Amino acid sequence: MMFEQGVDGFDRRDWQRSEDGTVRFALVGLGWWTREEAMPAIESSTFCETTVVVSGSHEKADRVAADTDTVTDALTYDEFLDGEARDAYDAVYVVTPNALHLPYVEAAAEYGKAVLCEKPIEASVERAERVVAAAESGDVPLMVAYRMQTDPAVRRARELVRDGEIGDPVQVHGHMSQRLMEVIPDPDQWRLDPDLTGYGATVMDLGIYPLNTARFVLDADPVSVGAQFTAEHEAFADVPDEHASFEATFDDGTEVSCTASQNAQRASSFRVVGTEGEILLEPVFYPDQTRFMTVRSGEQRVEVQVPPVNQMTEEFDYFADCLLSGASPHPDGEHGLADLRAIAAVYEAADTGERVVVGSNRN
Amino acid sequence: MMFEQGVDGFDRRDWQRSEDGTVRFALVGLGWWTREEAMPAIESSTFCETTVVVSGSHEKADRVAADTDTVTDALTYDEFLDGEARDAYDAVYVVTPNALHLPYVEAAAEYGKAVLCEKPIEASVERAERVVAAAESGDVPLMVAYRMQTDPAVRRARELVRDGEIGDPVQVHGHMSQRLMEVIPDPDQWRLDPDLTGYGATVMDLGIYPLNTARFVLDADPVSVGAQFTAEHEAFADVPDEHASFEATFDDGTEVSCTASQNAQRASSFRVVGTEGEILLEPVFYPDQTRFMTVRSGEQRVEVQVPPVNQMTEEFDYFADCLLSGASPHPDGEHGLADLRAIAAVYEAADTGERVVVGSNRN
């Protein structure tokens, strides 16, 4: 496929069903990601509009609302939970710290609103199960915001694997690192606080990228994991993982090897080695970088510069397209829950030094 | 360093002490690697000459000898063990199957000959210890043939790490794969026979490359390992590792994550991520490929095409230079033994599903 087409149609929206319509969003949590990534992405989207912003204080919510013409309501978290302005939005984007996803999903479900919930789905398996249960009991669509699954480069990689261009996948290696303390120069930030981040700082926030991308590209799931962490810097005193290496055996027999760090040079890569070829995406996970995809299939080799695309716009438009067309959005809650079960196993494996089978029961 | 110089002096022989002299080699084992890689490398070397070839039969030894002007003696293995023509060589290159290194090292030591022994040093920790003991009791230099340690790209990477260009190293990922059955289309080949290869097929032959290169570049050693293998293809029925993923925690705190396969697309890469930068060598381990080195240090990024060099010529000339100048060659037997202890731990970890501490005692 790649070898004939090059980048023609590389960024096509193979998922689009709707022609028009608008989904109005309440954004719950107004950190830098929401303001600098999500809101501009929504503004340049086809099917989405920000109408409600929700934060800890009226001051902050008002300040953000003032910058955006489409916003009609600026709420505090408590006002959102109480159902204020609930006629002003159709869907909710939950982008609070991990351990605070649950109450807002529960409220959204209670008010019959579709939910786009940031990954990881919650801070623990148990709380993630409650997120899924809340959406089910409210009968609202729940999608987990894995932006790589609507990223054209990752979708093309997945097609190449499905089409057998690299033979049978054998091994995956993915890496993601950044210097968290430079990205967010605050020693009290929630990603370093176990009460808010959950199991830890690095696998929950970064390791989840290569892990989930592998699940999506291979269409397979982890069965057992091994892991090793180190944490030396004082900022990581309360979490086990400043740096993390983990390896998962998937149910299709592939071995998925991941490294991630919250205190290393910003870098990211994703590689699938197959019996007949290889796919490399590098850099891959950070949205602001010029990215490349290299495919080798037998003796052929193609390297393409990935056409620039706003990953968050793709994600929001995909989600809205599903809502407008009545389709079930994916990755759904169960998919996000499977990640959290694998991640819980990774933390256990690092703690015990033993290989851990990924739990599939709700316990 | 890299950022000012580019490739000027990239392939300099920072190790060279001798100005002239010749070391005469007996090559023990005349497989394709000896004939197609080692002999041409020696022929184009500065300090080396092949004077004796040793194989299973006179016919094969004579055939190989006939192609090379410098060869004065063509011996069978038994004749070599008996010390025939021992005045015709100064050093021995042992390139038999892993489990057959020991007798030839013992004979070489008995006759006072320096030894360049292929990696891994032998088929088991116990036999590798006997190799080291033989060289010690004969008081002969023993070097293990890790060609990456005299490879200019790897040496430059090591210098960059030492010079702090990437800050503190945090994680390493290395990969090496090939389709063994296409490289050597023989189901009875020794690498698939536990009696000859030792612990297995993939980590012993390929995984050792990223592992040892990490040890050399980081100047650090593995402390504990986790591992996961799969073997499905019938050719791998007698060994545990068709595909192998393993992770080692090193004594400097770095996490070294390796993947290797004897039944996947030929590929190789080696990456060091540090707190302030990143070094990527890709492709790296196969000597016939055009190779690239990419270094990022903070905001700077340099990619260089590695100047072509014959890795085996560098290795042989380095070894000969040491002998001629009276220096102790490195990597020595103890260094090779440390690899085998780590590799034994990797096989145990994969077998038991538990993290294994790398043994340091001679048992």
User: Residue B70: how many CB atoms within 10 A of its CB?
Assistant: 16
**Are residues A243 and B170, on separate chains, in Cβ contact within 8 Å?**
yes
Backbone phi, psi, residue B155, to 5°: -65, -40
**Fold matches, A16-147 and A151-307+332-357:** no
Interval A196-223: pLDDT, tens: 999 999 999 999 999 999 999 999 999 9
> What is the mean predicted confidence (pLDDT) over B195-220?
98
**Are residues A275 and B263, on separate chains, in Cβ contact within 8 Å?**
yes
Q: What pLDDT shows up at residue B363? A: 34
Interval A172-185: pLDDT, tens: 999 999 999 999 99
**Are A321 and A47 in contact, with CB atoms under 8 Å apart?**
yes
**Are residues A274 and B257, on separate chains, in Cβ contact within 8 Å?**
no
How distant is the Cα of B232 from the closest Cα of chain A, in angstroms? 9
Residue B2: pLDDT over 80: no
Task: State the DSSP code for A41.
Answer: H
Residue B119: pLDDT over 70: yes
Backbone phi, psi, residue A91, to 5°: -145, 160
**Are residues B228 and A255, on separate chains, in Cβ contact within 8 Å?**
yes
Q: What pLDDT shows up at residue A6? A: 66
CATH topology of domain B151-307+332-357: Dihydrodipicolinate Reductase; domain 2 (3.30.360)
Best residue of B180, B249, B265 to probe chain A, by most A CBs closer than 10 Å? B265
**pTM, rounded to two decimals:** 0.95
**Are A30 and A304 in contact, with CB atoms under 8 Å apart?**
no
The dihedral sign for the CA sequence A89, A94, A99, A105: positive
Read off the tokens for B218.
């980081």
Backbone phi, psi, residue A304, to 5°: -125, 145
Please, what is the average pLDDT of chain A? 96
> What is the mean predicted confidence (pLDDT) over A254-273?
98
Interval A282-319: pLDDT, tens: 999 999 999 999 999 988 999 999 999 999 999 999 99
Q: What pLDDT shows up at residue A187? A: 86
Q: What pLDDT shows up at residue B235? A: 95
Query: Which residues on adjacent β-strands are paired with residue B302?
Result: B295
Q: Does A167 touch chain B (CB under 8 A)?
A: yes
Q: What pLDDT shows up at residue A299? A: 87
Residue B210: pLDDT over 90: yes
Q: Does domain A16-147 have CATH number 3.40.50.1360?
A: no
Alpha helices in A73-232 (DSSP H): 77-81, 101-110, 125-138, 152-162, 180-183, 194-197, 208-218
Q: What pLDDT shows up at residue B359? A: 86
Residue B162: pLDDT over 70: yes
Domain boundaries, chain A: 16-147, 151-307+332-357
Residue B179: pLDDT over 50: yes
Closest CA to A338 of A228, A222, A198: A222
Residue B5: pLDDT over 70: no
pLDDT range class, residue B187, cuts 50, 70, 90 = confident
Q: Which residue of A has its CA nearest to B353?
A: A355
How distant is the Cα of A315 from the closest Cα of chain B, in angstroms? 29
> What is the mean predicted confidence (pLDDT) over B125-153?
98
Q: Which residue of B has its CA nearest to A276?
A: B265
Q: What pLDDT shows up at residue A362? A: 36
Q: What pLDDT shows up at residue B6? A: 66
Q: Does B265 touch chain A (CB under 8 A)?
A: yes
Residue B176 and residue B209: Cα distance in Å, rounded?
7
Q: What pLDDT shows up at residue B362? A: 37
pLDDT range class, residue A338, cuts 50, 70, 90 = very high
pLDDT range class, residue A5, cuts 50, 70, 90 = low
Rg (CA), chain A: 20
> What is the mean predicted confidence (pLDDT) over B176-202?
96
Interval A60-114: pLDDT, tens: 999 999 999 999 999 999 999 999 999 999 999 999 999 999 999 999 999 999 9
How distant is the Cα of A177 from the closest Cα of chain B, in angstroms? 9
Please, what is the average pLDDT of chain B? 96
Read off the tokens for A107.
């409220």
pLDDT range class, residue B296, cuts 50, 70, 90 = very high
> What is each CA distance from A338 to A118, A120, A198, A204, A341, in whole angstroms?
15, 10, 16, 13, 5
Query: Which residues on adjacent β-strands are paired with residue A284?
Result: none
The CB-side HSE value for A262 (13 A sphere, CA atoms) comes to 30
Best residue of A265, A275, A351 to probe chain B, by most B CBs closer than 10 Å? A265
Tokens 């097609």 belong to A159
Residue A265 and residue A260: Cα distance in Å, rounded?
11
Q: What pLDDT shows up at residue A3? A: 58
Tokens 């595909």 belong to B243
> What is each CA distance from B183 to A170, B180, B186, B265, in whole angstroms?
18, 5, 9, 11
> What is the mean predicted confidence (pLDDT) over B12-28?
97
* Cα B337 from chain centroid (whole Å): 12
Residue A58: pLDDT over 90: yes
Task: State the DSSP code for B234.
Answer: G
Compare CB distances from A265 to B269, B277, B355 and report the shortest one's residue.
B277
Q: What angle do CA B306, B311, B312 make, to 5 degrees?
A: 170
Residues of B in contact with A269 (CB under 8 A): 271
- Those residues whose C-beta lies under 8 Å from the C-beta of residue A79, and which sit 6 or more positions away, are A54, A85
3-class state of residue B276 by DSSP: coil
Interval B51-97: pLDDT, tens: 999 999 999 999 999 999 999 999 999 999 999 999 999 999 999 99
Residue B318: pLDDT over 90: yes
**Are A273 and A170 in contact, with CB atoms under 8 Å apart?**
yes
